[in-house]
Amino acid sequence: MRKRRIGTSELYASELGLGCMSLSPDLGSENERIVKTALEQGINYFDTADLYNFGWNEELVGKFLKEVRKDIILATKGGNDWHDAIEGWNWNPTKKYIKSALKESLRRLQTDYIDLYQLHGGTIDDPMDETIEAFEELAAEGLIRYYGISSIRPNTIKYYAEHSNIQSVMMQYSLLDRRPEELFPYLESKKISVVARGSVAKGWLSEKAYQKKPDDSFLSFKGMDIQAKLDKIKTDIQLDEKLTHTALKFVLSHRVVATAAAGASSTEQLLENIGAFNTPDLTECERKELESLFPAEIYESHRA
């Protein structure tokens, strides 16, 4: 699988990453099969967070990746302060908490460093300079190699881009949510990469869309309209491939996107995602036709 550089770092991520949030205690031994299949198929980017299943997800990922630690890119996130009681969590981007949370992530992941540590959210009202100090100190201590943020808030993203050494911004991005494109030229100018999540829009950009109710919706799109547009992709654009493949290849048709961190709740789903990389890339004409079906919107507010 081809790899792309994350920002200006020394990290080269597989174009398809594994979003580990989809791993679950309910899957049992299928969790290990998913991770092993990902490795066998050339995926080297694995993305988790301390909040996922309140630490369980990191523990599972650490267990499965321990033997190949030096061969993969391990990304996790912090900033949500939760307790053993698991009664909820609070947003806490303070320097003290970020540094303590990272050390707990290291313990759960059974490693002594994180390749890409990401702030799991954030607003313009946060003590951002303090958070940046935490990241820089963790990097100086060798506990993280690089850092980024997971955010869809334009002003927050721009502050970090101007005042820190972030290498990436994780954002929900798909044909049905093209708002991040508003920031792509800016991020490219700063040599900051996008880590895309939600590329199949909760199944709306796959064959599962036809199993959903026509009166359901995704953002501003009505279910019946999405289904009609998917029919047009098949008949008018005539892309001879699965809708999931089209969705993933559209996201990766933008060079600012380093990897699409897609989840998988079965090995079959993972292999279907991987199948997108066994077919030709979208042509510029095909991409423009897709864009015409799903017009881009803008973020409602730039204050956050």
Contact 14, 39 (CB under 8 A): no
Q: Which single residue is written with the structure tokens 């198929």?
A: 41
Inter-residue contact 224 to 193 (CB < 8 Å): no
Distance CA 223, CA 205 (A): 11
Q: Which helix (H) or strand (E) holds 59?
A: helix 56-65
Catalytic residue among 12, 45, 52, 160: 52
Asked if 52 is an active-site residue, the reply is: yes
- Distance between CA atoms of residues 202 and 190, nearest Å: 30
- Would you say the C-alpha torsion 163, 167, 173, 175 has a positive or negative sign? positive
Q: Tokens for 275, please give them.
A: 């199948």
Q: What angle do CA 218, 151, 55 make, to 5 degrees?
A: 95
Two tokens, residue 268 = 């079959």
Positions marked active-site: 52
